[in-house]
Amino acid sequence: MDRDQAEKRVIELREILWINSRRYYVDNAPTMSDFEYDHLMRELEDLENEYPDLKTPDSPTQKVGSDLDKGFAQYPHKYPMLSLGNTYNIGEIEDFARRAEKELGEVGFTYSCELKFDGTAICLTYRNGKLFRALTRGDGVVGDDVTANVRMISNVPLSLKGSGWPEEFEIRGEILMPYESFDRLNRERVENEDQPFANPRNAASGSLKLQDPKVVAKRGLMCTLYHIPAQSVTFATHSEALDAAASWGLPVSGERRTVSGISQIEEYISYWDKQRRYLPFATDGIVIKINELDYQNALGYTAKSPRWAVAFKFQAEEALTRLVSIDYQVGRTGAVTPVANLSPVQLAGTVVKRATLNNEDFMSQLDIRVGDWVKVIKGGEIIPKIIDVDLSRRPEDSVKPSFPTVCPDCGTPLVKDENEARWFCPNTDGCPTQIKGKLEHFLGRKAMNILAGEATVEQMYNLGLVRTPADFYSLDKRGLMMLEGWKDRSAERFLASLAESKSVPFERVLFALGIRYVGETTAKELARHFGDIDSLAAASEEKLLEVRDIGDVIAKSVRDYFSDPKHLEEISRLKEAGLRFSVEEVSASSEALSGLSIVISGNFSISRDEMKRLIEINGGKNSSSVSGKTDFLLAGSKPGPEKIRKAEELGVRIIGEEEFMEMIPSGETSAGGGDIVEPTLF
């Protein structure tokens, strides 16, 4: 490659890297894997080293990726907050060790080996033992002030304990979203037909930049800290500084290890490459640091990374397979989502046959076509995701797919809001898929908990028995016997569950209506705030915005829903059927748990909703995450490992179901809460 060719490639690489840096740090929606990004960055570094006159101060090789957001106040870091050099090769770790030995001489230094956490970087400042400020990495020099949000993270101490801490110091680390919290958040987003986060890192970064700290508090974030700038402390080694930080009550990782040679570094890497799969949070590699702080200072820094540390990145398991076809699925809110059908391929322990393509923009960015060979990974090792197309194997007759202009189900022209990345079918009351999706949602366990599933809804719809949820309450045994395979007992069980649904509390009825963006938590807040459906239906957007955690988008959606006469007519029919549309005051049956904050985790002999009800009617308070204010953790079978670890770390008492039942008056439990299944046919 001559200089002219090199210059063209440098310009091309810089544009690609800056675009993907923004998608990663700002949009929290990367379309390129870490491995691909690092590979392109390395290519750019090599070209700039070969042609030094092409290296400029604004090159991605000379600057840290920026997550600065105009919505937050910004402050400078006391010391630059740089990124780490990455490698996927053990040989380069050996080169790192040899360079350090050469520059430092025969001084007998050690290494600190630590997990590389896959979250979003944070810098905490403590002043006089109190949390003073929390800044994101930003551009490495200036960071966004997210102190109010970080205060909502339960394992970040607002005050230090013990003694010996400096009057003021910085400590840096990562904000993480544990898998348990990530799964819960994505389930809620899918239920509301919002785009799920691709991995826990994106979810953590997006959550930290929310404007409402109360919402952040519900996201289940955690913090782990791993570095105190040498200028801030007087310790001899990095490991001593972190030991001290742990004694002050700061959440320092317990998986670090001090080693004395390359063979022990390789042992540590090999161990965690396997064991990381059992951690409750995402990791993507190992960080190796020179342990002695004086030697760190002696080695110094490059423009964007320290010379005394390097990151070894684990390669995400990936597979190459063929894109067979693309389906366009319509959800219950009308959102049209493209889904890739793949030749089955083994990936991270499961067979992957399908992967989401997110939306039209994502498809265009990949330039994906049917017949392409595509690279698939599990984003965050959880969600199958297409990250690349092998253009060298593209069929000559391939054609770029056209995103549908009409609904694939009902043929209605699609619409796209300027603030949305997705297309929607506006035929909410006539599109069969939307109708059936809303009916299934209404019947769901977390909604009305009526004994029927997708196959039953399909039959009822095809026979013309139901079109709206209120139609369920007009069904009789004669009509149900028209369903294929149904006999007396099937019909009787369905009608019994229909009758029981009339006792479902208002907040679940509200959730069952399927108002766009109104999930379980939002429905509960709206029900508690307004008390009944009539007050909610009459509320203006301004009044809706007064409700905790309700923003402009949800307020507009709720207002639009109740402005539609067809929806008001449906609610009137459901009222006539006997459903509850007002909050019933529940008086405490005892004060056995008065003032106690309780977190539940795992499975019990009764439903989790019933367990929460028992806590409330006996004077207790249900909390979602373990903190220093938690009185005890109620653990059933298969409790969340992170909650157990956190409880043990904070000294929170852990009790089982049997002990809990002994704490409250007997005879208070009620049946219910089981999973929905199709009726047993006789």
Of the CATH numbers 3.30.1330.10, 2.160.20.10, 1.10.287.610, 3.40.50.150, which one belongs to the domain with range 3-54? 1.10.287.610
How large is the average pLDDT for residues 275-302? 88
88, with CB counted inside 10 A (0-12, 13-18, 19+), is middle
DSSP character at residue 82? P
Residues marked as catalytic: 116
DSSP track, 588-656 = -S--TTTT-EEEEESB-SS-HHHHHHHHHHTT-EEESS--TT--EEEE-BS--HHHHHHHHHHT-EEE-
> Considering only 49-58, 368-377, 451-460, 643-652, which range has the smallest mean pLDDT?
49-58
Q: Answer with the residue of higher pLDDT: 515 or 16.
A: 515
Higher pLDDT, 104 or 63: 104
Beta strand 597-601 pairing with 632-635: parallel
Q: How many CA atoms lie within 13 A of 624 on its CB side?
A: 15
Q: Tokens 């059933």 appear where?
A: 636
Question: Using an 8 Å Cβ cutoff, are 448 and 523 in contact?
Answer: no
Taking the C-alpha atoms of residue 132 and residue 130, their distance in angstroms, rounded to an integer, is 6
66/217: higher pLDDT: 217
The pLDDT mean for the chain works out to 84
Sequence-distant (6+) residues with CB within 8 A of 202 are 28, 29, 30
* CA dist list (Å): 252 to 75, 137, 157, 642: 25, 19, 12, 15
DSSP secondary structure string for all residues of 318-384: EEEEEEEEEEEEE-TT-EEEEEEEEEEEEETTEEEEEEE--SHHHHHHHT--TT-EEEEEEETTTEE
Residue 673's pLDDT band (boundaries 50, 70, 90)?
very low
Q: Which two tokens stand for residue 92?
A: 């380069």
Q: Over range 296-306, report the average pLDDT.
A: 84
Q: Tell me, what's the pLDDT at 377?
A: 80
Long-range contacts of 205-208 (CB under 8 A, 24+ apart): 205/25, 205/28, 205/67, 205/119, 205/120, 205/175, 206/28, 207/149, 207/177, 208/120, 208/122, 208/136, 208/146, 208/149, 208/150, 208/175
Query: Closest Cα partner for 469 from 443, 491, 433?
Result: 443
Q: What are residue 551's phi and psi, to 5 degrees?
A: -110, -175
3-state helix, strand, coil in the chain (%, to 5): 40, 20, 40
Amino acid letter, residue 83: S
Per-residue pLDDT band at 67 (split at 50, 70, 90): low
Residue 376 has, within 13 A of its CA and on its CB side, a CA count of 29
Q: What is the pLDDT of residue 679?
A: 33
375 contacts 390 by C-beta, under 8 angstroms: yes
User: Is residue 348 within 8 Å of 376, Cβ to Cβ?
Assistant: no
In this structure, are strands 111-117 and 74-76 parallel, antiparallel, or unpaired? unpaired
Domain 432-577, second-level architecture: Orthogonal Bundle (1.10)
The predicted structure's pLDDT at residue 408 = 93
Average pLDDT on 641-650 reads 81
Range of weakest confidence among 332-346, 508-522, 614-628: 614-628
Question: pLDDT at position 682, please?
Answer: 26
For the four alpha carbons of 607, 613, 618 and 620, in that order, the dihedral sign comes to: positive
For residue 290, report the phi and psi dihedrals to the nearest 5 degrees. -65, 130
Taking CA 623 as the corner, what is the angle to CA 190 and CA 127, rounded to the nearest 5 degrees?
105
Fold of 597-663: Rossmann fold (3.40.50)
> Is 21 in contact with 34 (CB distance < 8 Å)?
no
**Per residue in 40-70, is it b (16+ CB within 10 Å) or e — as a string?**
bbeebbebbeeeeebbeeebbbebbbbbbbe
pLDDT, tens only, 84-93: 887 878 888 9
485/671: higher pLDDT: 485
More confident residue, 402 or 519: 402
Q: What is the mean pLDDT of residues 303-321?
A: 83
DSSP E strand stretches across 18-119:
74-76, 86-87, 111-117
Instruction: Measure the CA–CA gap between 237 and 219, rounded to whole angstroms.
Output: 35
Name the more confident of 179 and 668: 179
Q: What is the pLDDT at residue 418?
A: 72
Which amino acid, residue 284? D
- Whether 28 shows a pLDDT value over 80: the answer reads no
- What does the alpha-carbon distance between residue 157 and residue 163 come to, in Å, rounded to a whole number? 14
In this prediction, residue 671 has a pLDDT band, given cuts at 50, 70 and 90, of very low
State both tokens at 403.
Answer: 């995103």
The pLDDT value recorded for residue 438 is 93
Residue 582 bridge partners (DSSP): 532
Rounded average pLDDT over 567-573: 96
Question: Sorting pLDDT into bands at 50, 70 and 90, what band is 17?
Answer: confident
Task: Using alpha carbons, list the distances in angstroms from residue 136 to 17, 147, 215, 232, 506.
Answer: 21, 10, 18, 19, 41
Question: Residue 415: is it exposed, middle or buried by C-beta count within 10 angstroms (0-12/13-18/19+)?
Answer: exposed
Q: Dihedral (C-alpha) 521, 527, 533, 538: value to the nearest 10 degrees?
A: -90
Q: Is it the case that residue 382 has pLDDT exceeding 80?
A: no
Strands (DSSP E) contained in 390-522 are 423-424
pLDDT at 397 over 70: yes
* pLDDT of residue 639 exceeding 90: no
- Residue 291 φ/ψ, nearest 5 degrees: -80, -35
pLDDT confidence bin for 562, thresholds 50/70/90: very high
Q: Is the pLDDT of residue 348 over 50?
A: yes
Kindly state the DSSP code that residue 670 receives in the 8-state scheme. Answer: -
Widest pairwise Cα distance in the chain: 91
Q: Can you give the pLDDT at residue 304?
A: 67
Q: Is the pLDDT of residue 675 over 60?
A: no
Three state DSSP letters for 258-282:
EECCHHHHHHHHHHHHHHHHHCCCC
Residue with tokens 């397979």: 321
Mapping DSSP onto H, E and C, the string for 329-344 reads: EECCCCEEEEEEEEEE
Q: Across residues 628-645, what is the average pLDDT? A: 83
Q: What is the Cα–Cα distance from 272 to 285, expressed in whole angstroms?
A: 8
- For 74-313, give the CATH class: alpha beta
SS3 175: strand
Lowest mean pLDDT segment, chosen from 187-196, 407-416, 417-426, 566-575: 187-196
pTM for this structure?
Answer: 0.50
- State residue 609's pLDDT score: 72
Non-local CB neighbours of 533 within 8 Å, separated by 6+ positions = 506, 510, 571, 575, 581, 582
- Return the minimum-mean-pLDDT range out of 164-168, 359-363, 370-374, 549-553: 549-553
Whether 195 has a pLDDT exceeding 90, the answer reads: no
The mean pLDDT value for 143-159 works out to 91
Q: Taking Cα atoms as reference points, which of 204, 129, 109 lies closest to residue 169?
A: 129
- What confidence tier does 380 reach under pLDDT thresholds 50, 70, 90? very low
Res 612: pLDDT: 83
- What residue spans define the domains of the chain? 3-54, 74-313, 323-427, 432-577, 597-663
- Write the single-letter amino acid at 630: T
CATH of the structural domain 323-427, one choice from 2.60.120.1090, 2.40.50.140, 3.40.50.720, 3.30.750.24: 2.40.50.140
Angle ∠(248,254,255) on CA atoms, nearest 5: 155
Residue 573, number of CB atoms within 10 A of its CB: 15
| pLDDT surpassing 60 at residue 676 | no
When pLDDT is cut at 50, 70 and 90, the band that residue 365 belongs to is: confident
Closest CA to 567 of 411, 431, 428, 668: 428
